[in-house]
Amino acid sequence: MKILALGDIVGKSGVDALCATLWEIRRENGIDFVTANCENAAEGNGVDKASAERLLASGCDVLTSGNHVWKRNDIYSFLDDSPYIVRPMNYPSDAPGKGWTVVDARGIRVLVMNVQGTVYMESLDDPFRAVERTLEREKGGYDVAVLDVHAEATSEKAALARCFDGKITFVFGTHTHVQTADERILPNGSAFITDLGMCGPDDSILGVKCDNVIRKLRSKLPVRFEPAPGKVTLHGAVVTLGHKGGVYPVEKIERFVK
C-alpha cells in the first residue's frame, strides 16, 4: 500500500494544479490513498465548500485542516456532514466537525487524525492526550493510522511523532508551508516528516506575493495578503507499507515534489 500526504494547498492556483494532476499522479506512482491539508485552499485563506468538494472529486480521499479552517462559514456544515474532511481534534467538542475519520482504501481501514499544536499557537486541549483518546476510542476499528500535526514548532511535531512511534503508521507536520528534509522511519517503525511543505506558487513567501509579506514585516502595519501568481509545485511525502499477517509495516518514506 502507498499513502501520499500533501502539504497545505494554497489558493485557487494550488487547487487547480492539484485537481489537474492528482489522478495521473496516483496512477503513475501506484498511490492507494491520499490525504491533503486544505485549510488554505480558498482565495485569501480558509477553505470553502466548493474547493473541498473539488479536491475530493479530484483524487483526495481525506482532507485535513488547521487553524484557518474556521475562516469560511460555509465549510461548517460540510465539516459536520462529510466523513472525508477533518479539523484538529483538540478544539472544543462543540466546534463543527470532528478530528478523525476512518476510510476504506481497497479493503484497508485507514484512520486519519488531525491535531493542532499549542506552542506559539492558540491555547487548545493537550494534543498528546487528544491523540491518546482517539487511538483508544478507535482501537480495533482500523488497520493503518495517519496523523497530521498542524503546528508551528518543529519540536512539538517531533515530540508527537516520537511519543506515538509504533502506534501511528505515518506522522507528518503541516502549517509552515516549507518542506523539510528529515523524512525517516523512527525506531519503533513509524514514518515521520516534520513538514510536508505546500501545494502553492514557487515565486512566493508561503504562497503569498513576496512584497506583501516584506511590507508587513517591515512596517508592522496591516497588509492585505494576495495569492502569488506563477508556477505551482506540489509538495508532500509518500509512504510505502508492507503486509505481514494483517499488519502493515512501513517499508519506505520519500519526499514528494511534482
Cell representation of residue 143: 488497520
> pLDDT digits over 112-140, tens only?
999 999 999 999 999 999 999 999 999 99
Q: Is residue 68 among the annotated active site residues?
A: yes
pTM: 0.96
**Domain spans in the chain, listed from the N-terminal domain onward:** 2-257
Overall average pLDDT of the 40-58 stretch = 95
Overall average pLDDT of the 162-172 stretch = 98
* Dihedrals phi, psi of 215, to nearest 5 degrees: -65, -40
Confidence grade of residue 44 (pLDDT, cut at 50, 70, 90) = confident
Q: Which CATH superfamily is domain 2-257 in?
A: Metallo-dependent phosphatases (3.60.21.10)
> pLDDT digits over 215-236, tens only?
999 999 999 999 999 999 999 9
Return the closest-CA partner of residue 146 out of 162, 164, 129, 128: 164
Looking at the chain, the whole-number percentage of residues with pLDDT higher than 90 is 97
For residue 4, the surrounding DSSP H or E stretch is: strand 2-6
Q: Do 3 and 238 meet the contact criterion of CB atoms below 8 Å apart?
A: yes
DSSP collapsed to 3 states, 94-122: CCCCCCEEEEEECCEEEEEEEEECCCCCC
Q: How high is the mean pLDDT of the chain?
A: 97
Which listed residue (68, 150, 175, 177) is catalytic?
68
Dist CA 197 CA 177 (whole Å): 4
